[in-house]
Structures are given as structure tokens and as C-alpha cells.
Structure 1
């Protein structure tokens, strides 16, 4: 089935993630749900799919989620390079609440945070996650012309265990000042992947326009 949400709340049984669920980032803003579903449907049966949209304007926010009936499909999807609507996208595995299985697949100190309240300052963003561990770096992605928040960013902790504990306890959703925000573990396994991640962040910064805020 398809979803067409106008905000960052994900409804999939209450735990924020399932073993067959993946995060897709860097989507071209004119990507349709049909293109999205058709591309990932080649790998296996899809039980849910969504392209996240701004709650006020309905404009796509450049990332979404796919859930497969068979969790083993995820490994194959992650191995491949994906180009949708002429643009290469970023694929990440999500982690079910209360499960340590995927957290053992790789270690990282960095997470993607989506759906940040647009009123949040950098200090408030850092202080929120400081409750879970020592934050060594943080960034809310902002429009390069207006400096307004685009509603997503990144947090880096001093220890990998903090990320594992955070996601194990909360899954991929957490309450931030009354808003449900999504958390995605970012894997950095090589210099090439680090470079790809930096390029992805630049893509995200260029993807949005003030009209989606």
C-alpha cells in the first residue's frame, strides 16, 4: 500500500521501524510515488512506502521510506547503486525499536535527524541530544539564502555506544518538543563512503527551497 503523508509522522505499528524498512535520502523533489514504488518494487514485495512532505505546503522534503515484506531483500537493496528520476539517492537501513540486530551490523557515532521543529536553534538541538550522551558535533541544515531551518540535520556523539543505546531504546522515532522526529543511523565504512556522505549533505542543502518550509 502507499502512503502520502504531509508531515514527518510515520505510522507502522508504533515502533517506528521494521526489519524490512529502509530510509531513502536525496530524492529529486519531483519524484512521484509511482516512480518511487516502481523502482524499489523490483527487489521484492513492498508493504508500505512514503515520500515525506512538508506539513504546511505539501511539498516533498527529499527523503522517504520503503518497507519490504521480506527483510532479507534489504541487504540486496543496500548493495546496489540507485538512481531515481535521474538522481542518485542514499539508502540506509532502519532499526526496529528494542532490537539490537542491526546496530551490530556497523558502528557509528553519527545519526540523521528528520522532522526537527523549525523553531529549534542549534543550541536547543544540541541540548536535546546531550541528554543521551556527549555531543561532539551537530548541524541543522538551513536554506543557503534565508538561513531558515529545513527541518533536518545531523548529530555526532563521542561514542558509538550512545547511538546504539539511543536507537535501541527509541527505535527510529523520538519525541522532540511535541513533534515526532525520525532517527537514522549513518554508516561510515570507508573514505569513499565518507565522501559520498558529505556530497549527500550538500545535495540535501541544495535540494530544498524556502517554499517547503
Structure 2
């Protein structure tokens, strides 16, 4: 919807899901907004219900070993990743609302 010359996305879950499907998809997801106490087994438990996982990684500081508050979840299929993105984005995990996007390919 256009308002004051700016396109505003609908908050409708159906619109958001269709928009995500149209974007470049991948089987690897970026998960941001993690609690600093969230570790890989917790992330794995939260996402494995959406499909088979290849890898789950919480990014930690090299010196302190503490979480940086984000991580990656890699699924076997793009379909599982898309389903997880649609269902988990904005959900509560360890007391924080997480943000999920497709991971950038390098």
C-alpha cells in the first residue's frame, strides 16, 4: 500500500508469506534477536519440527565465548526453510522475539 510516497507492507500473514516466497529462497536461515543465553540445542529443538536440519550454529565471541545474539539454521530442503521462516519469524524463543531471514550466500 502506498502512503505518503512510501510503500508499506501489509501486516497480513498471507501477504507476508507470499512476499517471502517471491524473494530469493535458500535452505539456510539467519536467526537474529536471540537471547544471549540461547545455545545450539535450544535452537535445534525450536527448528527441527519444521524439517530435517543439516547444521545449527549460534555465533559466539571468540574471546569471551558468549553468544553474539544471532545464528544460522541450515535445512536439507528449501521448502522446510521457507516453512520455518513463515512460522517462526517474530515468535518467542528464550524470552525474545526472533527475526528470521534467508541467509546471504557468499
TM range (shorter): 0.7 to 0.9
Q: 1:102 to 1:120 in 2, by over 3 A?
A: closer
Query: Mean Cα displacement is larger for which, 138-147 or 161-170?
Result: 161-170
TM-score, length-scaled by structure 2: 0.77
Pairwise CA RMSD: 2.6
Higher Rg:
1
Q: State the TM-score, normalized to the length of structure 1.
A: 0.41
Match for residue 129 of structure 1 among 33, 47, 67: 47
Taking the aligned partners of 1:151 and 1:113, their CA distance within structure 2 comes to 9
1:179 to 71, 96, 101: 96
* Alignment pair present for 1:110 and 2:28: yes
Give yes or no for contact 2:52–2:75 (8 Å, CA) kept in 1: yes
- Structure 2 residue corresponding to 1:142, chosen from 33, 45, 60: 60
User: Which runs of structure 1 show a deviation greater than 4 angstroms over 4 or more consecutive aligned residues?
Assistant: none
Deviations 1:8-41 (A, max 9, x none): xxxxxxxxxxx9xxxxxxxxxxxxxxxxxxxxxx
Aligned to 1:60: none
Matched-pair contact (CA < 8 Å) for 1:100–1:168: no
Sort the Cα spacing of 1:129 and 1:102 in 2 relative to 1 into closer, same or farther, 3 A: closer
Question: CA shift at 1:157, angstroms?
Answer: 0.6
C-alpha displacement of 1:173: 1.4
Seen in structure 2, the aligned counterparts of structure 1 residues 169 and 125 have a Cα distance that, compared at 3 Å, is closer
Q: Larger RCO: Structure 1 or Structure 2 (Cα < 8 Å, ≥ 6 residues apart)?
A: 2
| Structure 2: gaps of 5 or more residues | none
Shift in Å, 1:182:
0.7
Aligned length: 100
| Secondary structure of 1:101 counterpart | helix
Find the counterpart in structure 2 of residue 100 from structure 1: 18
Flag structure 1 segments of 5+ consecutive residues without an equivalent.
Answer: 1-18, 20-44, 48-67, 72-95, 189-193, 195-213
Q: CA deviation at 1:187?
A: 4.5
